[in-house]
Structure 1
Amino acid sequence: MDGTRRTAVVTGVLFLVTEVAAVAGLVLYRPALDGAAYVGGPGADPRVLAGVLCEMVLLIAVIGTGVALYPVIRRRHEALAVGYVCGRLLEAAVIAVGVVSVLAVVTLRQDLAGRAGESPGVDPAAYEVAASALVAVRDWAFLLGPNVALGANTLVLAYVMHRTGLVPRWIALLGLAGGTLICASAVAVLFGLYPQVSAVGALAALPVFAWEVTLAVRLLTRGFTPIRKYPD
């Protein structure tokens, strides 16, 4: 297996890991997103922490895709290669902010549960307000990370793939469409046109999901198409 083929396999695996880890993480730590209700209830800390662990795997995989693709993209466009790596680092950093917010909600619940018996005068309402604020931080991080930053990174990578022919054109076009759609959806959510977690939001994210899975399968099974020069 030559270096380029090995890079394609590693990149394909990492893209699949991002999809699995993102979905598993969201499903597992979802109880903590109730915020106020979570800190005042019995909690599900082991489940939430397992979700956070999945998010940590996601962070590593997101950064890994940028690093793995850098030498391949750099051969044709060094500036875009650097931009893609930086974009993936930014995406991972924003996701990390959301992960820390979820962990803080767990800490609040544990602290409230520990003080309830020792300090009868403790005010649960204050903990609930703090938890709600932390969930809001996580929600905004989710909008800016796996939506805006992901969309921008998808556009950069799909553009390079389209111009160089590293993958079949229809796959690159799927990425261009998916990146554009999820960015537009993020703007719509930002201005309150519909909730972030909604049927419309899920439909807007579907093309990006299809792009990453299709790209991963292509790289795992066929690798990169030999690079051609940019058209004049």
Structure 2
Amino acid sequence: MTSARRTAVAAGVLFLITEVSAIAGLALYQPVLSDPGYVGGAGADGRVLLGALCELVLIAAIIGTAVTLYPVIRRQNEGLALGHVAGRILEAAIITVGIVSVLSLVTLRQDGAAAGADEGALVAVGQALVAIHDWTFLLGPSVVLGMNTLLLAYLVYRSDLAPRPIAVLGLVGGPLVTASAIAVLFGLYGPAAHAISALPVFAWEVSFAVYLIVKGFKSIPVADRTIASGDLHPEPSMA
């Protein structure tokens, strides 16, 4: 297996991990996100902590996709490739803030109840922490994700790394999910409608991932024959 093929498979697997871990994390968080009285009840802390672990895996996979693809897409446009890496790191950082807010709520439920804190105050603080998570979910996996998707899909389209229809899904889905998140930000509609707008990005990431795993890169932007033969890291020219 050439270096290019290994890179394609690794990137595809990491993209699939982002999808699975993101969905699993959100599902496991539901007790704390949907129940305003979570801090005063029996709680489902183990489930919520498992959700946080899933999102930590998500963060690692998000950064991994950018780092893995960078040696390939930088040969099309190094500035945009760097922008994609920076954007994925920003996306991961925003998600981290959401994880901290959820873990803080678990601590609040455990320690607040033990200390005999006022239940009304606990609920108010708990709702504030949930609101922080909700905002990070809107900004990170929506606004920033959309911009990252547009960057990568553009580079994939220009480099012909995957079939054009797959890249077009990202070119359409990226701006759509960002615009939809901004609409939610200004109260034009709710999260349910916004979730529908994320489907093209989901389709882009899954189809791109499957293509990379099954077929590899359709073509690779090359700077010399060494790269074309499968080496993504050629020796620098002495000229």
Runs of 4+ in 1 over 6 A off after TM superposition: none
Aligned ranges 1:156-171 → 2 under 5 Å: 156-171=151-166
State the distance in 1 between where 2:186 and 2:211 align.
Answer: 36
> In the TM superposition, what whole-angstrom CA distance separates every residue of 1:131-154 from its partner, at most 9, and x where no partner exists?
111111111100000000100000
Task: Determine if contact 2:73/2:221 at 8 Å carries over to the other structure.
Answer: no
Residue 191 (structure 1) aligns with: 186
Unaligned 5+ segments in structure 1 are 117-121
| TM-aligned CA deviation for residue 92 of structure 1 | 0.2
Matched, 1:207 2:200: yes
AA in 1 matched with 2:122: Y
State the distance in 2 between where 1:217 and 1:226 align.
Answer: 16
Task: Determine if contact 1:35/1:128 at 8 Å carries over to the other structure.
Answer: no
State the distance in 1 between where 2:35 and 2:78 align.
Answer: 44
| TM-aligned CA deviation for residue 227 of structure 1 | 3.0
Q: Secondary structure at the match of 2:198?
A: helix
| TM-aligned CA deviation for residue 70 of structure 1 | 0.5
Root-mean-square deviation (CA), in Å? 1.1
AA in 2 matched with 1:96: T
Residue 217 (structure 1) aligns with: 210
Q: Secondary structure at the match of 1:161?
A: helix
Aligned ranges 1:64-213 → 2 under 5 Å: 64-116=64-116, 122-196=117-191, 198=192, 200-213=193-206
Residue 7 (structure 2) aligns with: 7
Q: Secondary structure at the match of 1:36?
A: coil
> In the TM superposition, what whole-angstrom CA distance separates every residue of 1:64-114 from its partner, at most 9, and x where no partner exists?
001001100111211011111000000000000001000011011001221
Residue 30 (structure 2) aligns with: 30
Query: Please, what TM-score do these two structures have when normalized by structure 1?
Result: 0.93
Unaligned 5+ segments in structure 2 are 223-239
AA in 2 matched with 1:211: W
Q: Secondary structure at the match of 2:188?
A: coil
Residue 119 (structure 1) aligns with: none
Query: Please, what TM-score do these two structures have when normalized by structure 2?
Result: 0.90
